[in-house]
Structures are given as structure tokens and as C-alpha cells.
Amino acid sequence: MIRFIGAAVLGVFGARRFAFMAAGLLRRRSAPPEYRAPSLAVVMPARNEAAGIARSLERLASAERPAERFSVLLVDDGSADSTGEIMERFASTREGWSVIRAGGEGKASALNAALAACSEAELVAVCDADVRLDPGCLRELVSAFADSEVGAVSGLLWPANSTATPVARYCALELWQHQLITSAAKDRLGLNPPALGWASCYRREALTAVGGFPADSVGEDVAASNALTRAGWRTRFVPAAVVHGDVPQEVGDYWHQHVRWARGLHGAAPSGAEPGAAGRARRLEAWMLTAGYLDRIVLAVLLSGGLARRRMPVTPLVYLAVSALEALVALRLAGVRARRVPGFGAAAALMLPVDVAMATAGSLAALLRRRPAWRSPRRIVVEDQSRSSTWRNSAWPASDTRFRPSDLAR
């Protein structure tokens, strides 16, 4: 019975992966008309980000302003370092910038405090304190709101340190698979990709209607996206809205981040409106999203059972083949050079046991309802083009890829 249930679960996940691969390669959407919002507030929450936040603020300050009224709200959520002081220095010399202090209760509470403080903005963009925006990122995010049914939009996070370590290679590969295949396919199929926290934008009317960000969730971005879906709003993925950030380079940082993500996904069950407001396919995909990394656990159980019986079942092997194909497609879409593909494959094989253990730990933590701390991983700061030759062409990594945002235009 366990083998049958496990095979059925992997069959569903495998069919979903294959369908998304096919949809992700379909003809791209035409670009929406240019849209200039009446008002836009950009919110950046941070805790203990003094090591790199100045660079993120500089990039935010140089971004295009796609709104008649534009403001920036920086939220210091109980930092123990100089994050708040750096924010104050930036805000004091820029018109429309301000800083508020939150109580250190977590990212969702910090975001809700910011929403209350910028109540007149029609659109609210959220970006993490450890990412660097491309100049046109906000313009691309805002353009999607020309469609009055859109309630939230997510941009593309590009892993700046994708070849730094095997852990970074695996994290970059995961990001490319999730964004360039899964989110792109959901967008083209109208299945509402989640608006993820590294770079997203919300229609205030929609976000307010579902109660803002759930304060008790560690996956506030996914939970809010699912609530918007349930309420009948559309969410979009816009790959031309690019931000750059560093992925974890050490196993400890990977573990902390992904256990938190797994917990957030499990706790993001759709809520906030009557289920009939959204289409059946969107509701089903919203529930699939909350399964998180369940496929890793099922795969490990079936593989270990096969090894114990010295007879490997076909289903997990087929699932591994589909996953490997998806990884190759993602690397191709990301423009990774052929000579670097084996390194990413080796990193995936090396990290698979860690990934399974992480998925199990995240699921158990979700069941026990333990609240994790908001911790910033250790980072090696990579300088931007203006300070180093490491970057070229609007900070795209020259040594790893040939990908450009225009390659995945809407």
C-alpha cells in the first residue's frame, strides 16, 4: 500500500513537472502596454543587514520610478547592528524616503506595519534588503498592473554567486528550475505563480481585502499569494523584472533557509475568501504549492525500500529522470555554458541527501509549529560593475551565463 501511494504521489508530481516544462517553452506572451501607476510605495524590511544593505539601497535609489507619486519606506525590524542607522542616513538625504521601526516580531509583521504607514499608495512593491534591483525592475513589475485583474506580481531573482560552491550551484539550479520553468509555466497557463518576497508588487486594494500578510506565517509571501488566488485575483511572474542576490554557499545556511521555506509552504494553505471566487485549476495548484518538498520525502522512502528489497521500483527512477531533464532545460534557459553543466549535475547529486533531510526536518517543524528566527546568512559580497570588473552589462555575471532578461520577455 505504501509503495502504491508513494508511486501515485510521484506520478502526480512528475506529470506536473513535465507539463510545466512543456508550458514553459511555449511561445512567450506579448508585452503588456506601458502602465504608469498613480502611486507606488517601495517597502524594504531588514534585520541585521548592515553588511550589505547600503549597496541594495544605492541600487534602489537609482531605479526608474514608474509612478506619478513615488515613496520608499525602510523598515528596521529590531536590528542589533547598524542597519537602522544606515537606513536613516539614506532616508535623510532623499525626498520621499522614510524609516520606521518595527518590534522584531518577524517579516510579516514588519510588512504589515509598512502597509499601515503607506496607506495612500495604490501599489506596494516589496524587496528584500539583500538584493540589488536592475534599473527597470520596478517599471516591469508595475506594467503588469495594466490588467485590472492582477493583484500581485513577482520578479526574477538572479543568483549572482551561482558557481561559488557546490551548495551555491545547487541553490542556483533550484532557483532557475522554479522561476524559468515552474513560475513561467504557471504564468502562461494562468495558474497564478506566487509573488515571492525578493521582488514583488501588490495592488493595495487586493492585499488589504485578504488581510495583508499573515503574521503567524513564516511563508508570508506564498500565504498572501494563495489568499489572493482564493479571492479571485490573478498573480503574475515577470522575468524582465530582475533583481540580483546571493544564494547560500554553505550547508548550514542552505539548511536554515530551506527548512524555513518548507515550513512556509506547508503553512500557506489558501485562505481569505470563498473558494468559488477562483477557478478550480488555480485552487488545485495553490494546494499543490503547499505540499512543499513532499516529493523528496516520498522519493527517499521508495528508493530506500527498493534498496532494502534489492529490487528498485520503476517510478522513482522515472521521477529522477524527469527531474534531471527539468534541470537540463533550466540550465539551458539560464544560458549556462555546456562546460559548466557537469558541475551543476554533480552539485545536485551531492546535495540530494541533504535536500531529503531538509524536507523531512521542515515538515516536522511545520507539524510542531516552532517559530524560527529571522536570520541573515553569511555572504561574500560581490561588487557591482561601478566598483569592479566582476560585473558587466547591468551586473549580469559574465563568467557563468549568456542569459539576459530579454530572453524571457513576457
**What DSSP string describes 90-136?**
HHHTSTTEEEEEE-SS-HHHHHHHHHHHTTT-SEEEEE-TTEEE-TT
- Burial label, 350 (beta-carbon count in 10 A; 0-12, 13-18, 19+): middle
CB within 8 Å of 287: residues ≥ 6 apart = 269, 270
As a whole number of angstroms, the distance between CA 83 and CA 110 comes to 15
Angstrom CA distances, 153 to 31, 35, 107, 270, 315, stand at 14, 14, 19, 17, 36
- Region of residue 253 (left: phi > 0; alpha: psi -120 to 50; beta: else): alpha
Percent of the chain scoring above 70 in pLDDT: 83
Directed axis angle between helix 341-368 and helix 294-309, to 10°? 100
Question: Tens digit of pLDDT for each residue in 10-31?
Answer: 898 889 998 999 887 776 666 6
Model pTM?
Answer: 0.85
Q: What's the whole-number average pLDDT of the chain?
A: 84
Banded pLDDT at 99 (limits 50, 70, 90): very high
As a whole number of angstroms, the distance between CA 344 and CA 169 comes to 6
102, pLDDT greater than 50: yes
The strand pair at 199-203 and 123-127 is best described as antiparallel
R_g (Cα) of the chain, nearest Å: 21
As a whole number of angstroms, the distance between CA 371 and CA 187 comes to 32
As a whole number of angstroms, the distance between CA 72 and CA 42 comes to 5
Q: Could you tell me if 290 and 242 are in contact, meaning their C-beta atoms sit under 8 angstroms apart?
A: no
Question: Tens digit of pLDDT for each residue in 181-229?
Answer: 999 999 999 999 999 989 999 999 999 999 999 887 778 898 899 999 9
The strand pair at 150-159 and 199-203 is best described as antiparallel
**What DSSP string describes 27-90?**
PPPPPPPP--EEEEEEEEEESS-TTTHHHHHHHHHTS---EEEEEEEEEEES-SSSHHHHHHHH
Average pLDDT for 314-339: 93
Q: Could you tell me if 112 and 215 are in contact, meaning their C-beta atoms sit under 8 angstroms apart?
A: yes
**What DSSP string describes 272-341?**
SS-GGGS-HHHHHHHHHHHTTTHHHHHHHHHHHHHHHHT---HHHHHHHHHHHHHHHHHHHHTTB-GGGH
Question: Tens digit of pLDDT for each residue in 130-179?
Answer: 999 999 999 999 999 999 999 999 999 999 999 999 999 999 999 999 99
Q: Could you tell me if 129 and 46 are in contact, meaning their C-beta atoms sit under 8 angstroms apart?
A: yes
What confidence score (pLDDT) does residue 384 get? 40
Angstrom CA distances, 21 to 7, 25, 47, 195, 334, stand at 21, 7, 37, 20, 14
Residue type, 350: L
The strand pair at 131-133 and 67-77 is best described as unpaired
Angle value at C-alpha 32, between 30 and 36, nearest 5 degrees:
160
What confidence score (pLDDT) does residue 211 get? 93
Average pLDDT for 327-348: 96
Q: Which three cell numbers stand for residue 333?
A: 534557459
